[in-house]
Each structure stands twice: as C-alpha cells, then as structure tokens.
C-alpha cells in the first residue's frame, strides 16, 4: 500500500460500519518469511513471551531443518524481528528458500485470508537442507531445488510470486521486500516487479504493525464480475483482453440516448457520482476526454481510441474502492468539477468569458494545457492508501522516507501516474523528449502537487497575486509557464474540495464518507499510540462544527480568492454560504450537550479535517 496500490475490492464507497473482523484485520493475516538466516518453522508466542517453533509438526519445518542461524539481521536480531512480528500477528512461518514458500502457498486454501510474504534480498547463502525421514510428500523436489541452481531467492522469487498471482495460481498474497539497501532505484525496481512495499532494515516495530494495511494489494487476480461484464472490474489486462476493450467501451458510447443523459449531468453542478453505476462513471470519463481531444489546437497528442480506453481502465483499477472517501467516485467528482469550471470559463467551449481575468486566461492556457489539467484531475489521488500524509510520516512509511516527509502522497500520485503510463505503453506524444511532452508532464505534476493541503494558504497567496496581474489587463511580460501552473492550481484546488460548494444533499454525503475514512485512520492511530486525526466517537454536533470550521477557514478563503478573478464562478460562494447555514442547523439542532467550539481542541484543529 505504501508504495503501490493497484488492487481493488468490491467494498462500496459509501460509509459503512466497521465490523469486528475489520478491527481484527492483523489477526486475519498470516506471515511467511523467506530468509536463509532463519530457522525454518512456524513460530508462535510461548507462555513465557519468547518466540518458539510450533510443536505441531509441519512438513516445511521437518524438511528444512537448518542448523543454528546467525542471529544478525542488520541491526535487528532474528529473534527480535520474530518477537516484533508476533506482537501483532498470531504466528509466523519461516522458510530458508522461496521454493518451500511457494509450495506452502500452493497448498493454501483460497478462503484462508491474506498472506504477507516477506522476501529478504540480502541473505542468499544456500542453507544446509536435509531430507526429513518423516516426510513422504515428494518434498525431495524442494530439496533438490534448494541445493541446485534453481533455488528461489530475492528478486527471482518476487517475479515468480507476482506471475503466479497474475495467472490466478495463487491469490491474496502480498509480497513485501526487505533489504538493507535504501537505494530509491532498487525500491522502484521492486515495485515495478510487483512488490507491495519495500522495508529498509532494521525494520521498525511501527512498520511491522502496519504491514497488514498492504492486504488490498493482494487482489491482483480479481476475476470479471459475475453476470454482465463490467469493463471497470478487472485488475489486470492481458494482451488478448486489451483487444476487446475498444469494442466494449464503444458499445457504451453507442447508447446515445443514455450518453446524452450523462452529458447533461456532467454540465450540472448538482452532479453526484454516487448515483451512477461503475460503467456510467467510465462513460463520464469518455465524454470528458472526447471533448478534450476535440479541442482545436492540440499539438502532437496521439491518443488513439484504443489507447484512451486502456488508459481509462488502468486508472480506474488503480483507485481503491475500500477507501470510503479517496476512491474512484472522488476522482470522478474532481474531474467533473474541473470540467464544469473549464466550461464556465470558456476553455472547453461554452460562452465567452466576461471578466478581464478569464479573457487573459484564454490567451495563455493552450489546448494541451487544458488536457493536462483534465488528466491531473482524474489521477490526482491515484493509488491513494486511505490514510493521510501525517499517518505516513508518523509510521515512518517508506514513501515518507523517499519523499523526505514533503507532500508524500501527492508526490506518490504523480509518480504512480507516469510509471503506470510507461509500464502500459500509454504514449501521448510521438516524441517523449519534445517540448510539448515536457510541458504536459510539468503541468500535470505541478497540478497534482498543488492538492497538498499543507501549502493551502501559500497557493491562495499566489492565486491572489495572479488575480492582480490578470485583472490589470496588462499581459505583456508575463511568465506564461508560471501563469499556467497558478491557474491550474486554482482550478484543481477548488475541484478537490468542491463538495463544500455542492448542494447540501450532496455535500453532506461527501462529509459522511470523509468522516468514515478519518475514523478508520483514527482507530489505526489509537492502536499504535499516535495522535488521532479525529475523535472516532465524535458527536453529530462536533462533526457539524468541524465542517463549519473547515468551510470558514479553508474553503471560503480559496473560493473567495478564485472568484475575485474568475467572476464566472461566483455562484459557488452562494452555495458555500448556504451549506454553512445548513451545518449550523445540524449543530444547533443536536440535543447532545458538548463544549463550545472555542473551548474544544478537537474543533480548533482544522488541519486534521483536510482531505489529504
């Protein structure tokens, strides 16, 4: 989850009550470790508190009776690592070769829950493997493999695991690499191969406690949904299946009457993605992309219909539906908000703008820039793990280490997008080194990075300064690259928190989803002793007050600043004020007595309610 998030689940995006099974998620995971330093066996906590091999005879332990191993794990002894693992997980099974681990995975029932597979990259020494006289299950093959040149270790084992997951041979397996090497290049190489995470030794106790969060990554072999084929439901696409994408999506577009209905919804500020099916959400993207690619003046963009369809499906499958808020519905919501605003400002058709600011914007925002803004809006939260930057930093997540605690998730989303495009050969420009390709990449990255809410007021300041420049109607001498980035920042930031300006019936649904996601994170934080993002047991009055605080301190300053220049968007302010009144009614109508907002630290810490 920390470095890659391609898995999907069928969990609805709307808020649901967390079950007891969800609260006990770590106990539903089993841990397999492949490291030649370990003594093979299944370990559990003894009554005396120390990890010991299970008294239950298992063929893997019997076969791989390695001798006494060096108790050295790059600063963290093997026994201490086992101890830390067993503090969170019921038992840990260790193997000295990947061959034995694969044999275990092949025999695992499909309903047996998730398996977290820790693959060590550093210890490649051949273990002293002996055939157990008690074993008659053909393990001699494993014995030969362990001794011979085909023993599986490290990266080769990772390749085999990922390939068998893609083929459906094994499922619900989460491969995680462990190494002393902290090279970012090696980290990305492992992710490219399909690792769910990369842990740097010595592995901290906090990192061990959060290993189970990677479990959604184990769904690589999700089949087509039962019944009607849903083009958005497959996690990976084989070459033969790719050829079927265009006819399938073209069939969607052939429903002209329904497409007209979807188009009308896209042109309305009362748009609500929760009321649409998965296929309808795909239709929304198709319509907006087709409108974008129909703009006159696009330069050197070679996005064929087949490539566009593949790109859309890859993006869709990279959002995690188990996130109550940061899921595919949120991506479509932000995309539609951007599309709506661009239409209002005359950048994608529609009436010519009336304000000097917007007329100036039309002069420097080229069609390629508009398309970059559309792509950034769709993908700005791609691969989101369902926790925020603070959580990533507090748990010393590998991503936080890679990005030095700066805009951790936003940097990840931008990287994820372009790595995905490279991996699946989504080549928008015939020459990647062309100026158009460089400008596109730069604008997409800067636009996604702008969604980091820790820089919220700095962005508002830059937008305000741009308003002064553009309202002066003096466009000579402007740094056009800077103006494009600032304008794109203004649009995506408004789109990202647009639920504050939607009709209250829609806005409140998004607030509930966000509350659910924050509550999930708060429970994780409480279990690990970290500061809580919110009180997971908030009253309705407290939650309503938090929404009022967020609107007044975060949303309203942004929309006021943007609409001082883009007068065509001034109606948003009316909706924001109406929503504030509605939330005040919810707060005041609640019969539960709580402290006043000014005396309640929960209600003063507005940053904890930021979507990111």
CATH number 3.40.50.2300 is the correct assignment for the domain at 29-53+78-124+151-214 = yes
330 is in an annotated binding site: yes
DSSP annotation string for 98-140: HHHHHHHHHHS-TTS-EEEEEEESS--PPP-----TT--SSTH
Residue 475's pLDDT is what?
A: 66
Number of H helices, E strands in the chain: 27, 7
- How far, in Å, CA of 33 to CA of 140, rounded? 21
Whether 540 contacts 592, CB under 8 Å: yes
pLDDT digits (tens, 9 = 90+) for 250-288: 665 555 567 888 999 999 999 999 999 888 999 999 999
431 is in an annotated binding site: no
What's this model's pTM, rounded to 2 decimal places? 0.66
Whether 197 contacts 1, CB under 8 Å: yes
Residue 598's pLDDT is what?
A: 40
Higher local confidence (pLDDT), 205 or 278: 278
327 is in an annotated binding site: yes
Catalytic positions: 326
Confidence of residue 61 (pLDDT cuts 50, 70, 90): very low
Residue 210's pLDDT is what?
A: 73
Residue 343's pLDDT is what?
A: 96
Whether 263 contacts 340, CB under 8 Å: no
440 is in an annotated binding site: no
574 is in an annotated binding site: no
Q: Is the pLDDT of residue 564 over 90?
A: yes
- How far, in Å, CA of 588 to CA of 593, rounded? 10
**What is the enclosing helix (H) or strand (E) of 452?**
none
Phi, psi of 43 (to 5 degrees): -105, 150
Residue 89's pLDDT is what?
A: 81
Residue 268's pLDDT is what?
A: 96
- SS3 sequence of 594-612: CCCHHHCHHHHCHHHHCCC
CATH 1.10.1300.10 location in the chain: 250-588
CATH number 3.40.50.300 is the correct assignment for the domain at 250-588 = no
CA–CA–CA angle 391, 165, 6 (5° rounding): 35
Q: Which two tokens stand for residue 423?
A: 């991996």
CATH 3.40.50.2300 location in the chain: 29-53+78-124+151-214
- Nearest-10 crossing angle of helices 480-496, 456-471: 130
Confidence of residue 54 (pLDDT cuts 50, 70, 90): very low
Whether 312 contacts 370, CB under 8 Å: no
- How far, in Å, CA of 371 to CA of 290, rounded? 10
pLDDT digits (tens, 9 = 90+) for 134-144: 333 333 333 33
Q: Is the pLDDT of residue 90 over 60?
A: yes
Residue with structure tokens 């639920």? 499
The stretch 150-167 carries a mean pLDDT of: 83
Distances (CA, A) of 490 to 62, 329, 445, 560: 63, 21, 14, 11
pLDDT digits (tens, 9 = 90+) for 106-129: 887 655 678 899 998 887 644 433
Q: Is the pLDDT of residue 202 over 90?
A: no
329 is in an annotated binding site: yes
Question: Is the previous residue joined to 475 through a cis bond, with omega within 30 degrees of 0?
Answer: no
Phi, psi of 92 (to 5 degrees): -130, 130
């Amino acid at each position: 989850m920390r470095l890659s998030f391609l898995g999907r689940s069928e969990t609805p995006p709307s808020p649901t009550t967390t079950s007891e099974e969800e609260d006990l998620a770590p106990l539903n995971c089993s841990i397999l470790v492949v490291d030649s330093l370990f003594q093979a066996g299944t370990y559990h906590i003894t009554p005396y508190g120390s990890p010991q091999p299970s008294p239950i005879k298992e063929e893997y332990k019997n076969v791989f009776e390695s001798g006494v191993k060096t108790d050295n794990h790059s600063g963290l002894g093997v026994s201490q690592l086992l101890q830390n693992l067993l503090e969170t997980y019921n038992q840990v099974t260790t193997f000295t070769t990947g061959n034995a681990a694969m044999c275990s995975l092949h025999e695992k029932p499909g309903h047996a829950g998730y398996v977290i597979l820790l693959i060590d990259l550093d210890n490649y020494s051949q273990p002293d493997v002996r055939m157990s006289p008690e074993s008659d299950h053909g393990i001699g093959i494993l014995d030969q493999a362990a001794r011979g040149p085909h023993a599986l270790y490290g990266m080769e084992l990772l390749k085999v695991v990922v390939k068998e997951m893609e083929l459906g041979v094994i499922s619900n397996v989460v491969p995680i690499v462990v190494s002393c090497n902290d090279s970012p290049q090696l980290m990305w190489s492992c992710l490219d191969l399909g690792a769910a995470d990369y842990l740097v030794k010595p592995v901290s106790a906090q990192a061990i406690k959060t290993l189970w969060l990677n479990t959604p990554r184990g769904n690589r072999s999700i089949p087509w949904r039962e019944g009607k084929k849903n083009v958005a439901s497959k996690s990976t696409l084989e070459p033969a299946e790719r050829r079927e994408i265009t006819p399938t999506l073209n069939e969607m577009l052939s429903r002209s009457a329904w497409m007209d209905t979807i188009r009308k919804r896209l042109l309305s500020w009362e748009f609500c993605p929760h009321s649409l099916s998965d296929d309808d959400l795909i239709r929304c993207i198709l319509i907006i992309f087709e409108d974008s690619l129909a703009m006159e003046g696009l330069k050197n963009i070679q996005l064929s219909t087949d490539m566009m369809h593949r790109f859309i499906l890859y993006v869709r499958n990279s959002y995690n539906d188990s996130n109550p808020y940061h899921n595919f519905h949120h991506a479509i919501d932000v995309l539609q908000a951007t599309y709506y605003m661009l239409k209002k400002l005359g950048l994608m058709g529609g009436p010519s703008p009336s304000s000097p600011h917007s007329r100036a914007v039309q002069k420097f925002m080229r069609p390629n820039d508009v398309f970059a803004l559309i792509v950034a809006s769709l993908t700005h939260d791609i691969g989101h793990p369902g926790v925020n930057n603070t959580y990533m930093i507090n748990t010393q997540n590998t991503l936080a280490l890679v990005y030095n605690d700066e805009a951790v998730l936003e940097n990840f989303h931008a990287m994820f997008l372009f790595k995905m495009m490279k991996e699946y050969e989504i080549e928008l420009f015939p020459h990647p080194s062309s100026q158009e390709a460089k400008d596109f990449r730069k604008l997409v990255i800067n636009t996604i990075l702008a969604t980091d809410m820790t820089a919220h007021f700095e962005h508002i300041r830059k937008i305000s300064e741009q308003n002064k420049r553009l309202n002066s109607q003096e466009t000579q001498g402007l740094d056009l690259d800077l103006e494009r980035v600032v304008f794109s920042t203004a649009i995506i930031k408004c789109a990202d928190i647009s639920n504050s300006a939607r009709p209250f019936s829609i806005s409140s649904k998004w607030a509930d989803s966000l509350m659910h996601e924050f509550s999930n994170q708060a429970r994780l934080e409480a279990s690990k002793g970290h500061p809580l993002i919110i009180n997971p047991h908030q009253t309705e009055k407290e939650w309503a007050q938090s929404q009022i605080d967020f609107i007044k301190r975060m949303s309203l300053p942004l929309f006021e600043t943007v609409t001082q220049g883009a007068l065509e968007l001034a109606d948003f302010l009316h909706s924001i004020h109406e929503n504030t009144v509605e939330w005040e009614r919810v707060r005041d109508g609640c019969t539960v007595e709580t402290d006043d907002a000014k005396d309640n630290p929960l209600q003063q810490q507005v940053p904890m309610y930021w979507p990111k």
